[in-house]
Copies of this chain bind each other. A is one copy, B any other.
């Protein structure tokens, strides 16, 4: 497997574009993105678990119920959620882009991200579509920009891999920032591959993967209404179609996982106001479920997050978060260490503090990628969760998001 250029346009037959159409006031910010496949593609998707669901999700779910899609259109600046006519606007968006692309409106994935509760005016989308379609090309970055809200960094990746001697490619773009929490958030991820795989197996791959990837990311504990991860697989690589489990499926899963883990880390690292990527690795838990509960509890603790912002080795807060996680855990068998590119330092053994150099701890924690290792004595369960520190800027960004 090899990291390659091209994002969602790396795989054969995919093109993309991103423009400013006028949903956002800031003209330098792209607010409409398109991903297009030359041919119909297998399509799999997972959605937010929030009971309040964005209108675009409902329309997308319906459109791709046959397992196929050919285009993704997504706007930023307005979530098209909790308003009176959201479904109609999302459906009209599908109809307009389908007409321009000469495809079936039922083959369109539609998504929106931004502020909740305001009507989405379709006029700028309608007027922007001709230029959006005209600029289709090897423009993954423009599409990635078009879906960003308070994200500060563009998130994309692509890898190549081999199935039965045939080279396949898979790539993705993502947006994250606030409201990122287990079971997905204001997170949109679009992945494209030219691997030939049936809709059923594609859905199986995605649903299996997100349990250990996107559902283990938390920025602020809020689960958004509009989260969605969608994969399109158009088969243009020419491998034998993956229709069952087996070696080819495993290879595809690994390639998918490389893309999703990378995007998870980038989403966490670019959490609203974040200065640090935090990774909590739990081992020795009673079982995998308990490991996940513990890893998430540590990553979600406001006090742990604030301590990491201050590069403060306050491991008591890690222990505290383990204690209230609800997991089956023997708190007298907990070891904790902090690790970064500067080294690793053990701060707690068997549930109690050990003498350690505050200076070395500080040096380790001043780095911008920190791993919190939690070793338990309860079993063989393992899990990893990703998050970020809690900073002044998180408060600033969210104190006045709408203005």
Contact = CB atoms under 8 A, between A and B. Distances in A.
Interface in A54-107: 79, 81-84
Contacts of A222: 301-303, 317, 320-321, 324
A137 interface: no
A230 B400 CA distance: 40
A128 interface: no
Contacts of A315: 117
A225 interface: yes
Nearest to A51: B323
A320 B402 contact: no
Most buried by B among A82, A115, A322: A82
A60 to B, nearest CB: 18
A398 B392 CA distance: 11
A320 B83 contact: no
Given A323-B52, A323-B225, A392-B396, A82 B316 contact: yes
Contacts of A84: 352
Contact of A395 (B82, B348, B394): B394
B392 A395 contact: yes
A266 to B, nearest CB: 21
Contacts of A402: 312, 314
Contacts of A50: 320, 323-324
Contacts of A395: 306, 309, 390-392, 394-395
A320 B184 CA distance: 13
A199 interface: no
Nearest to A324: B223
Interface residues of A, number: 62
B82 A353 contact: yes
A318 to B, nearest CB: 10
Contact of A320 (B179, B300, B306, B331): B179
Interface string A319-357: 111111000010100000000000000001001110000
B81 A329 contact: no
Interface string A384-403: 00000011101111111111
A391 B395 CA distance: 6
B391 A51 contact: no
A316 B117 contact: yes
Nearest to A313: B402
A108 interface: no
Interface in A223-270: 223-225
Nearest to A181: B324
A398 B303 contact: yes
B221 A300 contact: yes
A116 B303 CA distance: 12
Interface string A1-13: 0000000000000
Contacts of A322: 51-52
Contacts of A351: 52, 82
A367 to B, nearest CB: 16
Contacts of A321: 222
Nearest to A330: B51
A71 to B, nearest CB: 28
Interface in A178-195: 178-179, 181, 183
A401 to B, nearest CB: 6
Contact of A324 (B51, B310, B394, B397): B51
Contacts of A403: 312
Given A178-B303, A306-B395, A306-B398, 9 more contacts: A52-B324, A83-B352, A84-B352, A117-B348, A179-B320, A220-B302, A222-B301, A303-B398, A392-B395
